[in-house]
Amino acid sequence: MIEKILKKVEKLDDEIKKLEKTQTRETKDLVKSVYQSDEALESIEEEYESWDEHGKEIDKLKQMRNYFLKDCAELTPDEKVYLARHIERPHIDDFIEGLFTDFFEQKGDHLFDEDKSIYGGIARFHGIPVTVLGHRKGHTLEKNMEYNFGMPCPEGYRKALRLMNQAEKFGRPIITFIDTPGAYPGMEAEEHGQGEAIAVNLAKMSQFHVPVISVVTGEGNSGGALAIGVANRILMLENAVYSILSPEGFASILWKDSDRHKEACKLMKLTAADLLEAGVADEIVREPVGGAQRDYATVMSNLDKVLYKHLKELRAMSPTEIKNDRQLKYRKIG
């Protein structure tokens, strides 16, 4: 359902944009500022309505858009899965650009290969040097092929560990972004020790004395997600999902029928609210109605606040407290 609604909304978006383009330069600037923040837009829009030639038309279209978007306020789990996988959803590149400064990319596991499905390096968050890394997806098919759709091989997990070990050495907090269909199930991945690579990450992450915060931004599936997600705090975007396996895989294992994935979504308890209740997620970060892909600026601003709050809390703790806090979080589950 949400797919249809968003298609309608996108059409309206396009029309509104087209009309806005024909406006005078000032109106265009105005609309741009409005596009980033609906509240600001409203107040200014009223003021300038008199000379805004398409104002009324745009208003009408926006009303229509809001009408459609109202149906997106409460989404079913499978609709959330759809949004979590939306190709225009903000990905790690966008988060690094939107939340961090002075990013320096670090490539490769320095053992065997460079796995582009994991992206990361050193950056500043509110001026604090941190190590930031995560699964990498693209906004186009080409980019997604290049990044293997965010499915790491062992080399990706070993690269992540290399970066995190340096963070531990230099006392930098670690911020990871989780967005993966899972670890890559390929022949070479097995031959190079996919299981070993994930296991070692879990073991080593449990020992870090620096704060670790993980943000599930899209889909977090299986050990492939957890391998960079053993954290003191787990934040989830409102429409992100986190589960043992993809709904398709789940349906295929349980019912030998991957077409029953929507049914699986209902049972899997994979939404941010479910994870909060299970004590896995610590806080949910609000998204704009209709999904994060509709308004990056709002997502960044919401996430920035929550992330900074948790980082501040963790930085007030001693290194041993930070380590014990993380171990206790997982020790309590199950």
Partner 1 sequence: MVPLLNVAAFPIKVKKDLGENLLKKDKEPVFITCKSCGRRALKKDWQNNYYVCPVCGKYRSIGAYYRLSLVLDPGSFGELNADLKANDPNDFPEYKDKLLKQKQKTGLEEAAVTAVGKIGGHKVVVIVLDSRFFMGSMSSIVGEKVTRAVEYATQKHYPLIIFSASGGARMQEGIYSLMQMAKTAAAIEEFSAAGGLYISYLTHPTTGGVTASFASLGDITLAEPGALIGFAGPRVIEQTIHKKLPIGFQRSEYLESHGFVDMIVERSEMRSTLLKLIELHNK
Q: Decide if residue 141 touches partner 1 (CB under 8 A).
A: no
- Rounded to an integer, what distance in angstroms lies between the CA atom of residue 322 and that of residue 122? 21
Any contact of residue 323 with partner 1 (CB under 8 A)?
Answer: yes
Tell whether residue 269 is a contact of partner 1 (CB under 8 A): yes
Q: What is the rounded distance in angstroms from the CA atom of residue 155 to the CA atom of residue 150?
A: 13
Q: What share of the chain is helix, strand, coil (3-state, %, to 5)?
A: 55, 15, 30
| Selected binder of partner 1 within 195, 259, 312, 313 (CB under 8 A) | 195
Stretch that binds partner 1, among 2-10, 67-75, 105-113, 195-203 (CB under 8 A): 195-203
Interface region with partner 1, contact rule CB under 8 A, candidates 13-21, 99-107, 136-144, 190-198: 190-198
The residue within the footprint of partner 1, chosen from 39, 127, 187, 318 (CB under 8 A), is 187
Q: Which of 243, 265, 294, 299 binds partner 1 (CB under 8 A)?
A: 243
What string marks each residue from 275 to 294 as x (binds partner 1 by CB under 8 A) or -? Answer: x--x-x--------------
Interface with partner 1 includes 153 (CB under 8 A)? no
Binder of partner 1 out of 30, 72, 226, 265 (CB under 8 A) = 226
Is residue 137 exposed (0-12), middle (13-18) or buried (19+ Cβ within 10 Å)? Answer: buried
Return the half-sphere exposure (C-beta side, CA atoms, 13 A cut-off) of residue 244.
10
Under the criterion CB under 8 A, does residue 267 sit at the interface with partner 1? yes
Q: Does 324 bind partner 1 (CB under 8 A)?
A: yes
Short-list 163, 25, 29, CA closest to 106: 163
Is 331 a binding residue for partner 1 by CB under 8 A? The answer is yes
Q: Is 217 in the site for partner 1 (CB under 8 A)?
A: no
Amino acid at 171: G
CB of 142 to partner 1, least distance (A): 20
Handedness of CA 142, 226, 112, 173 (dihedral sign): positive
Residue 86's nearest CA partner among 158, 137, 145, 23 is: 137
Binding of residue 318 to partner 1 (CB under 8 A): no
327 binds partner 1 (CB under 8 A): yes
Contact 115, 152 (CB under 8 A): yes
Closest CA to 286 of 270, 268, 272, 265: 272
At 4, the amino acid letter reads: K
Binding of residue 253 to partner 1 (CB under 8 A):
yes
Closest CA to 130 of 90, 152, 99, 91: 99
- Would you count residue 203 as binding partner 1 (CB under 8 A)? yes
Q: Which stretch binds partner 1 (CB under 8 A): 95-103, 130-138, 220-228, 291-299?
A: 220-228
Nearest-angstrom CA–CA distance, 138 and 64: 31
185 binds partner 1 (CB under 8 A): yes
Shortest distance (Å) from residue 60 CB to partner 1: 44
Name 243's bridge partners: 221
Element holding 192 (H helix, E strand): none
- In the complex, the smallest distance separating the C-beta of residue 292 from partner 1, rounded to whole angstroms, is 22
- What distance in Å separates the CA atoms of residue 11 and residue 68, rounded to the nearest whole number? 12
Q: Where do contacts with partner 1 occur on this chain (CB under 8 A)?
A: 183-187, 189-191, 193-196, 198-200, 202-207, 222-223, 226-227, 230, 242-245, 249-250, 253-254, 267-270, 274-275, 278, 280, 320, 323-324, 327-328, 330-331, 333-334
